[in-house]
Structure 1
Amino acid sequence: MVRLVSSTAQREFPNEYVFELVPSAHGIVGSLSDKSLRVFPLDLSGEASISKAHDNTITGLKSVDQNVIATSSTDSTVKLWDLRTKSCTATIRSDTNAPFVCLDVLGNKLAAGTELVGQDAGVVFWDLRNTSKQSLAYIDSHNDDVTVVQFHPTDPHGVLTGSTDGLVNIYNTSIEDEDDAVYQTINHGASIHRAGFLPGSCDHNKVYALSHMETFSVHQVANPDEAVEEPKPIELGDVREKWDCEYVCDVLAPEGYIAVGSNSTGKLKLLPYDRDHGIDTVNEIALNGAHGEEVVRSVYIDAARRCVYSGGEDGIVKLWTGAFAEDEQISKPEKEQWEEVKKSKTKKSSSKEKKEHKHKHKHKHKDGKDKKSRYEPY
């Protein structure tokens, strides 16, 4: 059954892109292509602006706590912002002064992925209680821009990274030596757009990978303490035909939905999924009209208020209400099951082997204005 939902409010920013949306105690915070941050009340009835938050493109936006957010940028800085005063409370740089492509925050930990500079591209870590110096860095495990970094939700030492080199790495950050810290490398075979840990168990022992070419796979997380052969990954290949879409916007892991869109039809759909059973292409939520022919860059589900926020390359932030019933639970998929894989691409490899991996895709650095930028990491 397809559930149709209509937009009930919106804010418009002509000639700009809306990159990301995150929640806070002050409302919804958005990053725009004009290098600004905007803070909206939950009903989108107004806005507050932090103009020129960075000198270059904002590539990451995360909530630190209810009053503080973190941003990353290709201007080689990560910044912390106090939403109560709309002011920057810290400006952070890596030792190599590399441009940043992504970031993540969990508790007092902050990590940011860098562009490839010379021979180095990696992930840098800080303790938010002392941002004057980086606490750790891994710079040899990828040989192109790091587009994704994510802390493990329950393992205090687990971190995942994805890169345009086509690799997804999982680290144990209690180990300083990079060769020993990387305990799993997944070769997805195409430039990584999204990757992350899937919920569904106490140990979050499955991860997904989504490429800029819309290929999708699910992998078991290896146990570094056990000499057990990893099960073969589930590789769905190009999911556009399977999921009746033209691009995958995001995997909304905590909420259990995958957001997919179609430029030509102006559709945005939320497809329920279960990490062990697959994706439900029957009981979808369709957001009518979405962002027209423009790409949807960000979707945030407010589970408590049972509503959805979306931002796109049309420069519009939209609020969608009535998307979820009060007692709604995600059903197990009835049609589209995860497919069996024919060939495993998961391997444990050394940094030297990973350095020799060649990836044909090469993106250009954009400021959010090129219509082809859907297929770029930022």
Structure 2
Amino acid sequence: MISETLLKMHELELDIDNQEDFADSDTDTCSPDEITRLFTNSNNVANCEKIIAKNKYILHIAATSENQPNIAIGLSDNTYEVFTLSDNQVTHLSSLTGHKDKIIDCRFHSTNSNLLYTGSSDGCVKLWDLRAPQKSSQTFLDTTVKNGEKAKGFNCFDISSNERLLTVGTDLFEGDAYLLFWDTRSSEILGGYWESHTDDITQVKFHPSDRDKLISGSTDGLINIYDLSQTCEDDALIDTLNTDSSIEQLLWFNEDGKDHISCITHTSDLQLWDVDGAAPYKHFNRTNISQEIKKKSESYVYIANCHATDKYLMVLAGSNFNNGECLRSFYIENGKTQQGANFEENKQRVRCSYYNANINVLLTGGEKGILNVWKMTNPSYSGSVKKKK
């Protein structure tokens, strides 16, 4: 089941892709020389490009954190491809098939680069051992569904920092949206929450170091914060943040030793929240985003992703005009912004990305089936940022 809110968001995206509905072009707001001066880190970006699948979208990317990482790519034909990156060369390792419906995400085990979780909207999360990729080694299903009953549709999943707990967010199902939980050592479902959201759950994100802390986001506009050490849903729900929008992506990040949450909405707004805040302490709408990446038409602007580093939040944003070739980044630290890189060799609208801080590599994938490996030869952060006007 797709909620009415998500349908409206999808219609908006289709309208954005129909360029006749907007301006004739989307040009930069300043000269090429000024773009080069502002996006100073462009000179520090080297690109390795690999066409993964023609006529297919790359929808999800996951990778390990080693110097020579494994990379998992989720495609629009409901399959996953796995590669390894070494010496700026991308080498194919295996193909993973078995999901019957739209894929929803993929996650590597945090300490074992051979273990990969993949999910599908058909109500299934699979664990794969890449040393024997012919079939999945474990499958997580909603075993509360009886024979003949319709299964809950999965929308998103995540794994706790200690690798013990798997959590899935579902579509609205018979009036309820569910968070379902499994112990990763068993295929039996532990239980679920179903009273905290009133529409499709689009994101679940465990805290990167606290195994009991979880956030969920939904098309109902709410970010819920849970303490899973509590024994029931009422006690576990410790706070609710109202974004007044439909939530597409959530991310935990740390600033000055405090937890914060970034939220990208389905209308390409970016909100930054303190976990104790009653309202976002920073809100970047599409006009603000277009100003940061120096594009003329906010109608084409989209946010591809956000990535947390130990110093700042990196935002990837682009323009849908001209096949989405414009991709740029800017950084946010303590609410202040600075231009980052202009990815001049990008050829597609980016749908997903992954940042490996250990080797300072950014992976992007998108609508032409291209995997780009952007190698930052120097740290991106220049040490000074400007105040957002």
Name the CA distance, whole Å, in 2 between partners of 1:184 and 1:49.
42
Name the CA distance, whole Å, in 2 between partners of 1:50 and 1:328.
34
Q: How does 1:351-366 map to 2 (within 5 A)?
A: none
Question: What are the ranges of 5 or more consecutive residues in structure 2 without an aligned counterpart?
Answer: 1-37, 146-150, 296-300
- Aligned match for 2:49, one of 2, 6, 9: 9
Tell me the alpha carbon deviations over residues 285-341 of structure 1, each in whole angstroms, 9 at most, x when there is no partner.
11113133xx201122233333322100111112223x241x55453422426xxxx
Across the aligned residues of Structure 1 and Structure 2, the Cα RMSD in angstroms comes to 2.1
| Counterpart secondary structure, 1:241 | helix
| Counterpart secondary structure, 1:280 | strand
Name the CA distance, whole Å, in 1 between partners of 2:61 and 2:127.
16
Are the aligned partners of 1:299 and 1:308 in contact in 2 as well (CA < 8 Å)?
yes
Partner of 1:157: 212
- Aligned match for 1:103, one of 157, 163, 173: 157
Partner of 2:337: 279
- Aligned match for 2:259, one of 193, 205, 219: 205
Matched, 1:36 2:79: yes
Q: From the superposition, tell whether residues 177 and 302 of structure 1 become closer, same or farther in structure 2 (CA, over 3 Å).
A: closer
Name the CA distance, whole Å, in 2 between partners of 1:109 and 1:143.
24
Q: TM-score, normalised by structure 1?
A: 0.79
Partner of 1:19: 59
Q: TM-score, normalised by structure 2?
A: 0.77
| Counterpart secondary structure, 2:271 | strand
- Aligned match for 2:292, one of 243, 253, 256: 243
Question: Which amino acid letter does the alignment assign opposite residue 326 of structure 2?
Answer: K
| Counterpart secondary structure, 2:234 | helix
Are the aligned partners of 1:273 and 1:332 in contact in 2 as well (CA < 8 Å)?
no
Q: From the superposition, tell whether residues 150 and 317 of structure 1 become closer, same or farther in structure 2 (CA, over 3 Å).
A: same
Name the CA distance, whole Å, in 2 between partners of 1:112 and 1:242.
36
Matched, 1:298 2:355: no
Q: How does 1:1-378 map to 2 (within 5 A)?
A: 1-2=38-39, 3-4=41-42, 5-24=45-64, 27-42=70-85, 43-64=88-109, 65-86=112-133, 87-94=135-142, 95-96=144-145, 97-106=151-160, 107=162, 108-130=164-186, 132-202=187-257, 204-222=258-276, 230=277, 232-239=279-286, 240-244=289-293, 246-254=301-309, 256-264=313-321, 266-274=325-333, 276-281=334-339, 284-292=340-348, 295-321=349-375, 323-325=376-378, 329=381, 331-336=383-388
Question: Percent same amino acid among aligned pairs?
Answer: 27
Are the aligned partners of 2:167 and 2:182 in contact in 1 as well (CA < 8 Å)?
yes
Tell me the alpha carbon deviations over residues 175-219 of structure 1, each in whole angstroms, 9 at most, x when there is no partner.
2322222111111111101112222344x4221222111122222
Question: Which amino acid letter does the alignment assign opposite residue 182 of structure 1?
Answer: L
Tell me the alpha carbon deviations over residues 228-284 of structure 1, each in whole angstroms, 9 at most, x when there is no partner.
xx464324251333333610111112463111111215111121222x233323xx1
Name the CA distance, whole Å, in 1 between partners of 2:55 and 2:241.
38
How many residues align? The count is 321
Question: Which amino acid letter does the alignment assign opposite residue 69 of structure 1?
Answer: L
Name the CA distance, whole Å, in 1 between partners of 2:95 and 2:52.
16
Deviation at 1:167, TM superposition (A): 0.9
